[in-house]
Copies of this chain bind each other. A is one copy, B any other.
């Protein structure tokens, strides 16, 4: 939502621990381009009595919701980033009450609860290094913007009280490189895998690419095809649709920077 990612640069070489320390100290910036080669993750924390619904929703919708870790109730620790505190170490959060956004603090220590279970969900930033190495340009990075994300007309398979539409991220890709992008990302199923669609946005019920539901608009260049990947913001759309009493997520684009190398999620 209008957040502007910085272009790659000196932040690419910052260690994940140093990035998290900067965010813990109050720096509130999107994480695209930070700690190149390390996996970033979406956060969704819900009360324990909703945890089974979230975990089952993720199992039933693995392309948008690949689960990388689940915490113990109340614990702010994750195996993906030893020493990190999930209440402070993301640059910006979104707090949810009854399915409505209720603030975007940079620290959630004050609203954390002893019964919260946090889910860390794979993020498509993880495969961008592989795309770049293969010569696939990243238009949103070139343009210094956050990746655009859209609500689709494809409903996820419901689970318990959770239901909602699939969210996708979109990258414009030169037509001759669409197959390369498909092949490479298929090898990373834990971070959304192959695209769900390439070509006409109307196939996904997206009316206007210039008006994303999350992130920034990213104009295509001549010869580019819009390519859509399932997106880890999908659980936030499910919160909006299903309205649990309380939840905490990352703010779109403001991810957890983990210690895990991107390559750990390549199956081959």
Q: State the A residues within 8 Å of B (CB).
A: 51-52, 55-56, 59-60, 67, 70, 183, 186-187, 189-190, 193-194, 267-268
9 closest A-B pairs by beta carbon, nearest first, are A186-B268, A52-B52, A186-B267, A189-B267, A55-B55, A59-B67, A56-B70, A187-B268, A59-B70
Give the complex CA separation of A193 and B194 in angstroms: 17
Give the complex CA separation of A268 and B186 in angstroms: 6
Give the complex CA separation of A267 and B183 in angstroms: 9
Give the complex CA separation of A55 and B189 in angstroms: 19
Give the complex CA separation of A59 and B60 in angstroms: 12
A56-B70, A60-B70 are known; give 7 further A-B pairs, CB within 8 A: A59-B67, A186-B267, A187-B187, A187-B268, A189-B189, A189-B267, A194-B268
Which residues from chain B contact A59 at a C-beta distance below 8 Å? Answer: 55, 59, 67, 70
Which residues from chain B contact A268 at a C-beta distance below 8 Å? Answer: 183, 186-187, 194, 268
Complex copy number for this chain = 2
Is the beta-carbon distance between A267 and B194 smaller than 8 angstroms?
Answer: yes
Which residues from chain B contact A189 at a C-beta distance below 8 Å? Answer: 189-190, 267
User: What's the least CB distance linking A42 to chain B, in Å?
Assistant: 15
Is the beta-carbon distance between A267 and B55 smaller than 8 angstroms?
Answer: no
User: What's the least CB distance linking A132 to chain B, in Å?
Assistant: 20
User: What's the least CB distance linking A131 to chain B, in Å?
Assistant: 15
Which residues from chain B contact A56 at a C-beta distance below 8 Å? Answer: 55, 70
Give the complex CA separation of A52 and B58 in angstroms: 13
Which residue on chain B has the smallest CB distance to residue A62?
Answer: B190
Which residues from chain B contact A67 at a C-beta distance below 8 Å? Answer: 59
Q: Of the candidates B55, B60, B187, B267, which one forms a contact with A52 in the assembled complex, judged by CB atoms under 8 Å apart?
A: B55
Give the complex CA separation of A67 and B193 in angstroms: 17
Give the complex CA separation of A268 and B189 in angstroms: 10
Which residue on chain B has the smallest CB distance to residue A182?
Answer: B268
